[in-house]
Every structure is written in structure tokens, then in C-alpha cells.
Structure 1
Amino acid sequence: MTVHTELTGTTFVVTIDRPDARNAIDLATAEAVAAALDELDARADVTTGVITGAGGTFCAGMDLKAFLAGERPSLPGRGFAGIVRRPPAKPLVAAVEGYALGGGFEIVLACDLVVAARDAVFGLPEVTRGLLPAGGGLLRLPRKVPANLAMEWILTGARIPATTAHEVHLVNRLTDPGAALAGAVELAEAVGRNGPLATRACKQVIAESRDWPEAEFFERQSPVHEAVRSSEDAREGALAFVERRSPQWANR
């Protein structure tokens, strides 16, 4: 198995487990990641996910040996690594140790939150090999950091220290080396204590509203909002507040 999963509280941890290849993605691994993310969304006992890499490295990108052998580690409708075109509906946190380069960085960019070790390194080196970071790097990075900074990182193929990524708010939290997964689970659990319908709906509106005309913002948000506001969980949240207790979410 090149991917394994584990439930920690209400957080579903997905680990890319090819440390001998620096967790590079081949077709089998892309299929396994996609299956794990489908399980994340399907499980009623899971509220959030974490994706990480084994052996002290997040992911070095595409497996070039597999690529030269004719493999393409992309899935229809899912894209590279089974994630970049269609991330999960539930919030997903990247836990980054070591290198997140090329497609590995694009997996990070497909996540909602990022926790990284202080000595982690990010980068999109595709142009140094005459290629494009077409797995979301060109599309997502300019939305997550200032556009001129994204342009520099993409056009130079520079390697970006996690401390720099944190300064420009690409990384949410820094940890000591070796502690990124624990930090990511802590952050995921903080998200998971909230209403699951509400957190998924927040993610949905934030993602989809990028393309909405401003005049239609509230009209398009309304059906998502109304579905959550009329849910059992919305009533439970209010009742728990009045009764001064922790809510017991029904996820409906």
C-alpha cells in the first residue's frame, strides 16, 4: 500500500507512504489518494482530514520514473494525485515536513489549511525542466500569496522556506521539525469541534464565490445558508449555547 489512513478523534489522516521515492506520486498512489479522500467525505464519524507524507518528506511531486515508463498520475475529473482538480468537500489540512515540491506543492495548494515544520521547503520548479506547474500551481498560488510574489516563485522555480511561506500567510502554523502532523491534527480537531454542516458550507461558499459576480453574492449564498440554518445542527448549536453545554452534532 502506498497510502494508509488512520482516524484520530474525528480527523481522518491520509499518509502518502512511499518514503524511498520521497512520496512521489505514481498512478497507483493517485488512485489510493482519491479513494482515501472519497472515504473522508463519506464517513459520518469524520469531520476533517489531514494529508501528509511518511518518512520526513511531504511529497516530491510526480514520480518521474513512472512518467518515463508511460504513466500519468492523474485521474479523470480528479487531476494529479487524485486531488488537485477536485479536493474533498470536508476541510483538509496539509501537514508538511521536508519537501513539498512541484506536484507536492500543488497538493498543499489544494488543501484548505497548512501546518509546516520550520525547516520545510516549498517550490514549483517545473520551469527549470521546461514544464508548467499545471496541477493548480498557476491557478491557486496567485490567490494565496501576493500576485507578484507568486509570479517570482513560479518563474524562477525558487525553493521557499516554510518561514517565508508563513510570513506571507500561505502557511497557517509553524511547528518544530517532526511535529507538523501533530500540529495539523490539533488544527483539524479545532475545526472539527464546530458544526460539520456549517464548516463544509463555509468551505463551499469560499471556493465557489471566487467566480460569482458581486451583484449575485448574497443570492447565490442564500440556498447554502438556508440549508444550514434550517438544519438540526443549527438548532442544537443554539440550544447548547442557551444550556451552557457543548453541542452534540447530528450532522443533519
Structure 2
Amino acid sequence: MSEEQAVLVDVADGVMTITLNRGKAKNAVNKAMAEGVAAAMDELDSNDDIRVGIITGADNTFCAGMDLKAFVTGELPMLPGRGFCGFVEAPPKKPLIAAVEGFALAGGLEVMISCDLIVAADNAKFGIPEVKRGLAAAAGGLVRLPKQVPPRLAMEMALTGDFIDSAKASEIGLINRVVPAGTALEGAKALAATISANGPLAVKLSKQVIVESGDWTADNMWANQQDIVNPVFTSEDAIEGATAFAEKRAPNWKGK
């Protein structure tokens, strides 16, 4: 399957939608898909006209993980410096939303938790069942998931391989929004529209602080934050935002 078929990319109204497009294989990730996603992430970060990214799956499922048929032939769906699916070790600097229908399992869940926000259908299922295949959830399930949900629950998911549903995922804070089945992408686009209406520099640097501050201490967190966000307060967008508020109009952001 060619790279173009494995990943579909659409840009509209400042939002990039990346679709994992191997529906017959439950959108399992092979090398072509990893390469396609990596190229899309590069475009997301480098194109100033794009404010937010969404990643979703074709045919009413998100992603069933690594393509095991390709794996047994020696093909790995990873790229140097980027990891599984071309981005889990190097997520984009701009916001990325997962729109989840159906199953987000194994590497699929690891793709999902590499995103900043998650909108999921009410019938979606989540899990890291790698242990059931003699494998380990090494694309984020063992190191990223325990930082997003209570560690004991992450431990249970990792050691049992059992699935959880959207209600449980919402209860433990794994996902942001639960929507009716078939509307996850619609819900993600609504969330993306809200984000893209805000100052792009402020959004990007706010994400950076939240992502990086997990490793900061009480002694350095304020200084580290100021180093990152200072450009926001001296930006053209800050003046524009205040002016637009006073003039009761929508801001005309420049991203600088």
C-alpha cells in the first residue's frame, strides 16, 4: 500500500485533519503510514496557516496498533527520532487532537495519548493488550499513560491487557469529551475551531509550558515559564487581542 493511500491529509479553516486510512487492516500502522504521518506533522508545524491538527481513523475505527503481519516480516512502523507512527516520540509543537471511533488499542492507544486532547465516541474501547501477544506497550503505554491516569490503573491496563470503555476513560481523565458514536471527528473539529480562534503564539507557547513543566521543580518553574511565555506579552498579537476586545471585534492574529 502506498504512502498516499495509508494516510489522507486535509486542511480547511486552519485545521489539518490526518486520517489513518488502512480501514481493512483496522488502521494498523505500517512503515508507509508512519512516513505519511511524519510528513503531515512536519507540515502542521511549518505552515503558519495551520493552527491545529486532528488525527483520526477511517472506517469507524481509530487504530488497532502495529501491523503485526508487517512486523513478523521484519518491518517496523517507526522512524528514527520520531518513534512509532512517525511522531509519538516527537509530537508536534502545535495542538493535536485525537478523534476516536471504535478501537484505540495497543499502538493505537499510544498514538491517541501522544495527542494533547481526545474526543471519543461513546462506544469506543481503549487498551494496551500487548502482553497478550508477548509484547510490551513500548510506544508510550508504559511511560506516558501513567502520567495521564492514576498509575495503578495504568499498571492494571498494562499487566492485564484488558480494555476500558469511554465511560471509564472519561472517569479517569484519559479523554476530554465523549460524543455520540459517529460524531468524534465532528466533535474534534468543533474543539479545534475554538482553539484556532485564539492567538496562535499564545496557544503554542501555552502548550509548551504544560508539556515541559512536568519535569520542573518548585525552584525553577516560574523562571522556566517566563523564559517561554515572555514573547507572548511583547507580541503584536497581545496588542491586537487587547485592541480587538476594546473595539468589540474579532482579533486579526498574526502569530507574532
TM-score for both structures, normalised by structure 1: 0.98
1:189 and 2:193 are equivalent in the alignment: yes
Output aligned runs, 1:192-207, within 5 Å.
192-207=196-211
Q: Identity over the aligned pairs, expressed in percent? A: 52
SS at match of 1:215: coil
Match of 1:103 among 76, 98, 107: 107
Cα separation, 2, equivalents of 1:149 and 1:136: 15
Q: What is the CA distance between 1:8 and its match in structure 2?
A: 2.8
Report how far residue 190 of structure 1 moved: 0.8
Work out the CA distance in 2 between the residues paired with 1:27 and 1:213: 39
d(CA) in 1 for partners of 2:226 and 2:120?
A: 35
Q: d(CA) in 2 for partners of 1:179 and 1:93?
A: 14
**1:46: how far off?**
0.9
The match for 1:68 is 72
Q: Cα deviations across residues 102-160 of structure 1 (Å, max 9, x unaligned)?
A: 00000001000000000010100011122211101111111111111111111111111
Runs of 4+ aligned structure 1 residues displaced above 6 Å come to none
In structure 2, give the amino acid aligned to 1:5.
V
Per the alignment, residue 216 of structure 1 pairs with 220
Instruction: Give the SS at the match of 1:186.
Output: helix
Q: Tell me how far apart the structure 2 counterparts of residues 131 and 69 of structure 1 sit (CA, whole Å).
A: 16
Shift of 1:47: 0.6
Give SS of 2:143's match.
helix
Give the length in aligned residue pairs. 252
Does 1:243 pair with 2:236? Answer: no
Q: Give matches, 1:122-137, under 5 Å.
A: 122-137=126-141
Q: Which residue of 1 aligns with 2:84?
A: 80
In 2, the alpha carbon distance for the partners of 1:189 and 1:241 equals 19
Q: What is the CA-CA distance between 1:55 and the residue it aligns to?
A: 0.5
2:27 corresponds to which residue? 23
Given candidates 6, 10, 16, the residue that maps to 1:12 is: 16
Which SS does the other structure have where 2:142 is aligned?
helix
Matches within 5 A, 1:111-126: 111-126=115-130
Q: Matches of 1:192 and 1:154 in 2, distance apart?
A: 35
Runs of at least 5 residues in structure 2 that lack an aligned partner in the other structure = none
- RMSD after superposition: 0.9
Separation in structure 2 between the aligned mates of residue 44 and residue 203 of structure 1, nearest angstrom: 16
